[in-house]
Structure 1
């Protein structure tokens, strides 16, 4: 059986890094900018970038509604940073009129850790992984609320408590941070296992 074809939404953001991580794990990775490319993939990665810009570009490329339809009908997806925002059903502190693709029963807060100058890196303990992953947080969101079907895989402590930064719901996975930065591909492997399962 051939490996699944994993699309990486290629409107903006860390596209090359995700393609490289997936390819290194033996997946067939391809970029997605048009509806016909989306129709040809078995799963989708939504990379970090700027979530409002990505929605505008998706609309311009005629991709917004096809993305929503594929996600609503069970397309496995992995969203990182802005990708987490895109997969969220609800946003706190969003830009005026900001839209999402939806699918994950979570509420996210945009730029929750602060502005660009507040970006940071550090170890993140992820449920199911033996060792922490290296989390790179760049104007990152965090999860404010999770629905009953959402499993929290990782949390990060801040001055006002602990906040979820990695979640899974069925075959949807999302992280506040950028696992594609660096050479640790365990979260991409976890996603491929979800796709295969």
Structure 2
């Protein structure tokens, strides 16, 4: 059995997520490949996709230009697991606004039934690392790096809260979508990546 995992490589923490996903595969004893993907053809061939942190508006615009956004949406709707991190969470959401400037005119995949507040914990200078719990998915303790991190203000009934920090929702799961507002790939803990890989059905 083998899985093919892609990290959307338009912008953001691509290399760090490739390393984390490969480490998680090795820890789980699962054969597979992890690579940077950009084009619709590359995305079409995947079993799972990581949308990394970065600048969500820029990522959305670039994905629109090369047609990747359409293919990503179709693949997720057909059941492909996806892991959205920080900007990836925003891109997956149905609604996003900025804490300071309000409603943003940015392309969204409109798949994750949440309303996201961008920069919910402050700007770049307010970045921090924190220990969080994700008991509902079997991770009692993990670390996350919060960099211009969003939070989830509201969600639909099918969305499961995975983790909160300071009473703000920072991780959720909805079907084949896992999304977090922090950066697990910037720590040595690959628990979140392992859980995501567990959502992928390996090919025989």
After TM superposition, the score normalised by the length of structure 1 is 0.92
8 Å contact 1:52–1:95 — kept in the other structure?
A: no
Give, in whole Å, the separation in 2 of the partners of 1:68 and 1:95: 22
Q: Secondary structure at the match of 1:125?
A: strand
Deviations 1:145-164 (A, max 9, x none): 1111111010011xxxx111
Q: Secondary structure at the match of 2:34?
A: strand
Deviations 1:104-144 (A, max 9, x none): 11111111111111111111111234542111000000000
Q: Give structure 1 stretches of 5+ with no counterpart.
A: none
The alpha-carbon deviation at position 95 of structure 1 amounts to: 5.8
Deviations 1:10-36 (A, max 9, x none): 000000111111112234112110011
Say which is worse superposed, 173-182 or 61-70, in terms of deviation. Answer: 61-70
8 Å contact 1:84–1:175 — kept in the other structure?
A: yes
Name the residue aligned to 2:20. Answer: 21
The alpha-carbon deviation at position 63 of structure 1 amounts to: 1.3
Q: Give structure 2 stretches of 5+ with no counterpart.
A: 26-31
Name the residue aligned to 1:109. Answer: 117
Say which is worse superposed, 174-183 or 61-70, in terms of deviation. Answer: 61-70
Name the residue aligned to 2:8. Answer: 9
The 5 Å alignment of 1:1-197 reads 1=1, 3-26=2-25, 27-93=32-98, 96-127=104-135, 128-157=137-166, 162-196=167-201
Q: Superposition RMSD on alpha carbons, in Å?
A: 1.5
Give, in whole Å, the separation in 1 of the partners of 2:188 and 2:165: 21
The alpha-carbon deviation at position 171 of structure 1 amounts to: 1.4
8 Å contact 1:22–1:28 — kept in the other structure?
A: no
Say which is worse superposed, 95-104 or 168-177, in terms of deviation. Answer: 95-104
Q: Secondary structure at the match of 1:75?
A: coil
Aligned length: 192
Give, in whole Å, the separation in 2 of the partners of 1:163 and 1:99: 24
